[in-house]
Amino acid sequence: MFKRHKSLASERKKELSSHGATRSTLKNDMRNFHFLSQLILSAGPLKSIPAVKHSKTAHFEVEILDAHTRKQICIVDKVTQTSTIHDVKQKFHKACPKWYPSRIGLQLERGGPFLKDYVTIQSVAASSIVTLYFTDLGQQVSWTTVFLAEYTGPLLIYLLFYLRIPYIYDMKECSRRLRHPVVHLACFCHCMHYIRYLLETLFVHKVSAGHTPLKNLIKGCVFYWGFTSWMAYYINHPRYTPPSFGNRQITVSAINFLICEAGNHFINVVLAHPNHTGNNACFPSPNYNPFTWMFFLVSCPNYTYEIGSWISFTVMTQTLPVGIFTLLMTIQMSLWAQKKHKVYLKKFNSYMRRKSAMIPFILAWNILMASSLLVKEKSAE
């Protein structure tokens, strides 16, 4: 028995000694691992990381020469790659304060096209020195000023003739003759047309921030103001004769005028807020508004409705000055529509195949209505 207890005690000592040995080895391993990790962290990376070299921004010198004499006007330095022509014009204005940015025209070559303000210097630079030719564009005005002046004038001028202020008509004759209802209706339609123009210019159209020469403002005002004076003089004259077919002709043309005015407004709203898919703008598409369905037929329905309004006004008043004005506006707007139609064909070729520029069914209906009335008038004579 004594021997058996002695053997058990010796076995327990061996077990305790083995457990102690394993604990000591674990502690040693943990110490070695901790020491190794500290050594690796303190040693740093195995390979040295090369320092990042920041590339210096390239600068250009812009030499500005007179387009007529080729004499140097100034040198604009420290122009970065991302600088635009507008930035160059601003620096040119600081160097030469008498030249405002709006009247500065810059060209790469003499007689070449003027560079747009958004063009970057990097896109036109062949070396670190860029040579541009300067042309004075003359006194400039903003497009908003042009539109407001062109449309405010006809509104006020027509009202002056409608009120029959002295020194325009014979006041005795005016007091003797009563005005036909079409005279009042024509004044209402004419004023509504230009009031719509003014409101759309201020609140609907996204007018370009660019400028145009002052002579273009003068030309536009002479055209609109002059024709308005001619039309208003005949329509508001005491001896004005009403349309040949009476109230039927007046009513149909007035309704058609209002329809075209509404269509023109809704088309302008759609054009001011086009649809966008990704980064590419889509061609304006018709929506639930029936007036926008004209996009199925033509690419420039705003011009279509505009001409429809003036044809209706011509039939309603039956005066020669209005007819001549309508003819000139039709020619001008057809040229504008053809230019826009070509641009649309390049961008949206698959969508524009079956469209015409401006001539739709509604305009053809106006022309047929006017021609039929003229034929009836001749046959009655």
Domain ranges of the chain: 59-138, 139-242, 272-372
Which of residues 321 and 113 earns the better pLDDT score?
Answer: 321
Give the pLDDT confidence score for residue 23 in this predicted structure: 52
Q: What angle do CA 338, 341, 346 make, to 5 degrees?
A: 135
Residue 53 has pLDDT above 70, yes or no: no
pTM of the model: 0.73
Exposed, middle or buried by CB within 10 Å (0-12, 13-18, 19+), for 149? middle
- As a whole number, mean pLDDT of residues 170-199 equals 93
The percent of residues in the chain predicted with pLDDT above 70, rounded, is: 75
Q: How far apart are CA 36 and CA 156, in angstroms?
A: 94
Place of tokens 């327990």: 12
| pLDDT at residue 3, rounded to an integer | 47
Q: What is the pLDDT of residue 139?
A: 87
pLDDT value at residue 188: 97
Pairing status of strand 129-136 against strand 59-66: parallel
Local confidence band at 112 (pLDDT 50, 70, 90 cut-offs): confident
Q: DSSP 3-state assignment of 108?
A: coil
Architecture of domain 59-138: Roll (3.10)
- Looking at residue 296, its pLDDT comes to 86
Tokens of 124: 């036109």
pLDDT given at position 2: 44
Neighbour-count burial of 79, counting CB atoms closer than 10 A to its CB (0-12 exposed, 13-18 middle, 19+ buried): buried
Q: What is the mean pLDDT of residues 306-320?
A: 96
Q: Is the pLDDT of residue 121 over 90?
A: no
The label of the residue with tokens 């009563």 reads: 178
Q: Where is average pLDDT lowest: 85-94, 155-164, 188-197, 253-262?
A: 85-94
pLDDT average, residue stretch 253-276: 90
Predicted confidence band of residue 207 (pLDDT cuts 50, 70, 90): confident
pLDDT digits (tens, 9 = 90+) for 2-26: 444 445 445 555 554 555 555 555 4
Q: What is the pLDDT of residue 41?
A: 47
The per-residue pLDDT for range 132-180, each reduced to its tens digit, is: 999 988 888 998 999 999 999 999 999 999 998 878 888 888 888 889 9
The confidence score (pLDDT) of residue 268 equals 94
pLDDT higher than threshold 70 for residue 275: no
In single-letter form, the type of residue at position 233 comes to: Y
Q: Which helix (H) or strand (E) holds 141?
A: strand 140-142
Task: Find, among 140, 300, 157, 296, the residue nearest to 231 by Cα.
Answer: 157
pLDDT digits (tens, 9 = 90+) for 56-109: 557 888 999 988 888 988 888 888 888 898 889 998 899 888 888 888 899 988
Classified as helix, coil or strand, 208 is coil
377 versus 274: the higher-pLDDT residue is 274
* Per-residue pLDDT at 302 exceeds 80: yes
- Selected residue with higher pLDDT from 177 and 249: 249
Is residue 39 scored above 50 in pLDDT?
A: no
